[in-house]
Chains A and B, each alone.
Chain A
Amino acid sequence: MKILDVTDLSVKSGTGLALVSNVSFSLEPGARLGLIGESGSGKSLTALAIMGLLPTELNVSGSVLLSDGKTASQQILDAPEKVLNQIRGAVVSIVFQEPLTALDPLMKTGKQLAEPLRRWHGLKGATLQAEIFNALDEVRIGNPKRIADSYPYEISGGERQRAAIAMALACKPALLIADEPTTALDVTVQAEVLALLDTVVASRGMSLLFISHDLAVVSRITDSVLVLKDGEVVEAGSLQNILNEPKHPYTRELVSSAKELDAALTISARSGGDHDISNS
């Protein structure tokens, strides 16, 4: 039974402008998909549509079916808020790009993490505290007590993002959507958070929808990709196929840019070893 089944998803603005057109894809339990697109490609709107979080002034059509793998699929589009509230967090969760805005700046981190735990698992008091620390441990946060007692602006970007991931995982969803989760992070932190996502998603057997503009980052965490341009899927397939034989002109452009930059690193590094002052 598929965890996520998106068919002909289309999103139009209030004035009729097509923002997402006929996007279709699906995810089996434990499967991962990378959604590659640049700004304006509709990737974030797709994620919001799956969560049932699209702004009301947008018109959406098509079908988005979500399931936790055990019970029947639920149609997300046009579902009543009551139903969606049961699904968000428990079946599907999302991690956004900028943790500073995704977390409430006026609430301590621990308290924010406590909310979903309290609501879903009815935990209180000492059990709740313990679970909070467990959750923070799972995302490999260095000092869980310090983080739990701090406000979001008092902790580093990497720590914030880990806390955000902990919150997303708190209710044990079947699907995790990550929308550019590492784009705002430093390179070294990015590597760590990607490794964390990789481990956590694998250990829980979750499905992952990973959205990014960076082919190299996506390649770290998943093997199949969907390429979006201007709201449409222009190409889909395994990462190897896309990298070696891109068919659509846009994909070719993306791949060649990514390869050119990646190559610059290799060439530079190679000529470095021999102290060869060659032209790069």
Chain B
Amino acid sequence: MTSPILEMRDVNFSYCQGVPILNQVNISINRGENVGLVGESGSGKSTILRLLLGLHRPTEGEILYSGKELRLSDKEQARKFRSQVQVVFQDPYSSLDPRQRIDRLISEPLHSLGLTKEENVGSNRAAIRKWADQQVVDALISVGLPADSARKYPDEFSGGQRQRIAIARAIVCKPQVLLADEPVSALDVSTRVRVIELLSQLGQERGLTIVMVSHDLAVVAALCKKSVVLEKGIVVEQGDTSDVLGSPSHPYTQRLIESLPRLPIA
């Protein structure tokens, strides 16, 4: 078995004030297996995502990327990590800089992570720009948006389209892992399903592993092979989504599933 691509081992976490947010969290994310982080408010699921993204250091325990401890002070490791692990946020209205044009927005990771140099595009400004533009167009088309979107501004797009742009930005550097924080919660119901389908499709096409935080079990069920159930910072249950949903062992999980609003059986 190859080692997990991302791992949390015995992680405890609290912000400076000291209120513990996470307690002894152990999670492994394997390549090709989408993972859903399920819980209600205060469960710590979004915090886990931020830790996996390297935005905070765990108070205790370690975060491992490709088997090695994540040390973002190491510039080279940081660069590689950031190009391989990307993020999509919940609020499509706050995740795009309103004053930036879409092409600049999407190509930001390419420039910041020095990918233009890696690809040996040459040091010629024009050649770099051309290559970056092509990457942006490819990304936009992958998420189902027309190429001319590149020259527009975020306020010209709807919530669902903005989320696609955010996804395009996340995949432009061809990452291995996509961390998604409630990516569809802020969208209209009819748009939700389409964005989930997009994520699923991208996952398969690009060998992307998706780690998704969601309070909505249905969305997790549609996208993630594995699930981790969190209650107040503790992992109460984890495993195959089908097992967690079909035969939940922990009382909290059972309560969660029973509370789900379901459509009446025809």
Contact = CB atoms under 8 A, between A and B. Distances in A.
A240 to B, nearest CB: 7
Nearest to A192: B259
Contact of B246 (A188, A259, A270): A270
B223 to A, nearest CB: 8
Interface stretch (B47-55, B138-146, B211-219): B211-219
Given A243-B266, A272-B240, A272-B242, A186 B41 contact: yes
A260 B263 contact: no
Interface in B166-191: 188-190
A276 B225 CA distance: 12
B99 interface: no
A1 interface: no
Contacts of B255: 188
Contacts of A260: 193, 222
Given A257-B190, A268-B221, A275 B243 contact: yes
B242 A271 contact: yes
Contacts of B263: 215-216, 219, 243, 258-259, 262
Contact of B242 (A217, A219, A276): A276
Of A188, A214, A277, which is in contact with the most chain B CB atoms at under 10 Å from its CB? Answer: A188
B243 A272 contact: yes
Contact of B241 (A243, A262, A268): A268
B203 to A, nearest CB: 13
A271 B244 CA distance: 11
Contacts of B94: none
A261 interface: yes
A275 B245 CA distance: 11
A172 to B, nearest CB: 28
Interface in A233-280: 239-240, 243-244, 253-254, 256-262, 264-265, 267-273, 275-278, 280
A180 to B, nearest CB: 12
A38 B262 contact: no
A39 interface: yes
B8 to A, nearest CB: 24
A258 B264 CA distance: 11
Given A213-B188, A269-B242, A280-B225, A243 B264 contact: yes
Interface residues of A, number: 45
Interface string A53-96: 00000000000000000000000000000000000000000000
Contacts of B216: 187, 261
B260 A277 contact: no
Of B246, B255, B257, which is in contact with the most chain A CB atoms at under 10 Å from its CB? Answer: B246
B237 to A, nearest CB: 12
B190 to A, nearest CB: 5
Contacts of A240: 264, 266
A8 B261 CA distance: 32
A136 to B, nearest CB: 23
A268 B245 CA distance: 7
Nearest to B244: A272
Contact of B221 (A254, A258, A265): A265
B104 interface: no
B259 A190 contact: yes
B258 interface: yes
Contacts of A270: 242, 246
B188 A187 contact: no
Given A260-B222, A269-B246, A272-B240, A253 B259 contact: no
A186 B193 contact: no
30 contacts: A38-B189, A38-B190, A186-B41, A187-B216, A187-B217, A187-B260, A191-B260, A192-B259, A194-B261, A213-B189, A215-B189, A215-B263, A216-B260, A216-B261, A220-B261, A243-B266, A253-B190, A254-B189, A260-B222, A262-B263, A264-B221, A267-B221, A268-B242, A268-B245, A269-B221, A269-B246, A272-B243, A272-B245, A277-B242, A280-B222
Closest 4 CB pairs of A and B: A272-B246, A272-B242, A191-B259, A264-B222
Given A39-B188, A257-B190, A280-B241, 18 more contacts: A157-B41, A186-B215, A188-B259, A190-B259, A219-B264, A243-B266, A257-B192, A259-B263, A261-B193, A264-B221, A265-B217, A265-B221, A269-B257, A272-B247, A273-B246, A273-B247, A277-B242, A280-B242
Interface of B: 40-41, 188-190, 192-193, 215-219, 221-222, 225, 240-247, 255-264, 266
Interface of A: 38-39, 157, 186-192, 194, 213-217, 219-220, 239-240, 243-244, 253-254, 256-262, 264-265, 267-273, 275-278, 280
